[in-house]
Amino acid sequence: MIDLDMMATAGRLRGVQELAARAEAAGLGGLWFTESGRTAYLSCTAAALATERIGIGTAVAVAFPRSPMITAKVAWELADATGGRFTLGLGTQVKAHVERRYSAEYAPPGPRLRAYVGALRAIFAAFRGAPLAFESDYYTFSLLTPQWSPGPLDAPDPPIFVSAVLPYMSRLAGELCDGVHIHPFHSPEYVRDVQIPEIVAGAAKVGRSLDDVTLEIPVMTGVGDTAEQIAATREHARGMIAFYGSTRTYSPVFELHGFPGLSDRLHELQRGGDIAGMIAVITDDVLDHYVVAAPWDELADALVDRYAGLAPKIRLMSYTAINQYGKDPTVLERWGRVAERVRALTA
């Protein structure tokens, strides 16, 4: 069965509590918080204290500016507060932000994230009473006395997901993690032909398979009751694709569909401050590869047609609902009906 979750931005905590309660009442499967101007973990805490059933997670929290010990303790407390409903989703962030926004040391992100996940596993085990002994090129942990440990949980360890686009991170997710956050800028073909083989290769190194890894897939949608409403939400997605596509390391997502050089062009326009020009080069032909567009009563079927069968364990995430919610909170009821239909079609 495929469930439908919702992406949310970390926000003012009382507002987050209202959002979480509404999302749970609507029947959405999970609520994932990004980290931008506000911390994803505090929003997760607010959501946890306002709900009883809905899944809660970070998608994603920035890893490297925080010690793995700090991240492990926060994740542990959130797992406790939610009764096991919390999922820890981590990302690396680019060099400029790590160094200049967080004033943290930047190191090769793939090997460092590998060590980070290994450290988290060791710390989780230590919280349950095992000796703490983890050593790597990036992190070393050897001291955890009882008064500094939160103690064992009456729930499993928090699942660890990592964000991935390119081969190294996809393999790492398959080898070490419970799940992978697919980037919002993707196509099903890119996931199937490029990422999943790498996830499978990583899993095979340690005797695992694709069955052991959940794919959390945020989907950009154009949805509405009229052609005009669908077009308006497609235009928002067009701007997002222009923004994400200007990151040149993501150029393979364009190149798979026959758009070589598009990332370079977007990057050039971005450096010149030409936002309108960036949006203009994302033609409808480009857009259709990365956006699902349908009327409300056909959206669930369109999502299932596009994503069912990619992998044994898939969760979809609306990347559109949070913007609509800001204008009309009752829109979550419509997303809840889409979630119900997606579950019924894939049960």
Span 217-245, pLDDT tens digits? 999 999 999 999 999 999 999 999 999 99
Per-residue pLDDT reduced to its tens digit, 241-255: 999 999 999 999 999
Per-residue pLDDT reduced to its tens digit, 123-159: 999 999 999 999 999 999 999 999 999 999 999 999 9
Q: In Å, what is the CA distance from 289 to each residue of 164, 187, 238, 249, 284?
A: 19, 6, 11, 19, 9
Is residue 36's pLDDT more than 90?
no
What is the domain partition of the chain in residue ranges? 3-225+291-346
Predicted TM-score (pTM) of this structure: 0.96
CB-neighbour burial class of residue 241 (10 A; exposed 0-12, middle 13-18, buried 19+): buried
Is residue 342's pLDDT more than 90?
yes
Separation between Cα atoms, residue 263 and residue 271, nearest integer Å: 12
Is residue 327's pLDDT more than 90?
yes
Span 103-114, mean pLDDT?
Answer: 94
Separation between Cα atoms, residue 200 and residue 207, nearest integer Å: 10
Return the amino acid letter for 209: S
Task: Give which of 41, 51, 40, 55 is closest to 6, Cα–Cα.
Answer: 55
Is residue 94's pLDDT more than 90?
no
Is residue 302's pLDDT more than 90?
yes
Per-residue pLDDT reduced to its tens digit, 111-128: 999 999 999 999 999 999
- CATH code for the structural domain at 3-225+291-346: 3.20.20.30
pLDDT band at 96 (very low <50, low <70, confident <90, very high): confident
